[in-house]
């Protein structure tokens, strides 16, 4: 893919939002992204972004489940 396909956004002291572009919605044509909050150093968040890119590029499902644990 050409262009920006993911980003790391600071949300506070040692809290990072990692966002990866997954696909476009077939009906609305809007971009679908997967968001994950990572606690720790920036380097940890960048490593998580890299692993999410690898999973997406290999065709594995990286979307988190919506199942509740209650």
Concatenated DSSP letters of 33-65: EEEEEEES-HHHHHHHHHHHHHHHHTT---PPP
Q: Is the pLDDT of residue 3 over 90?
A: no
Res 15: pLDDT: 95
8-64 residue pLDDT tens: 999 999 999 999 888 888 999 998 888 999 999 999 999 999 888 888 777 776 665
pLDDT digits (tens, 9 = 90+) for 55-69: 877 777 666 555 555
Domain-wise residue ranges, the chain: 6-57
**Which residues sit opposite 15 in a β-bridge?**
12, 39
Helix (H, G, I), strand (E, B) or coil at 10: strand
């Amino acid at each position: 893919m050409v262009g920006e396909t993911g980003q790391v956004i600071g949300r506070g002291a040692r809290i990072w939002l990692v966002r990866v572009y997954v696909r476009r919605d077939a009906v609305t044509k809007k971009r679908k992204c997967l968001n994950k909050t990572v606690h720790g150093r920036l380097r940890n968040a960048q490593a998580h972004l890299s692993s999410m890119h690898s999973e997406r590029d290999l065709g594995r499902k990286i979307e988190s489940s919506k199942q509740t644990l209650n």
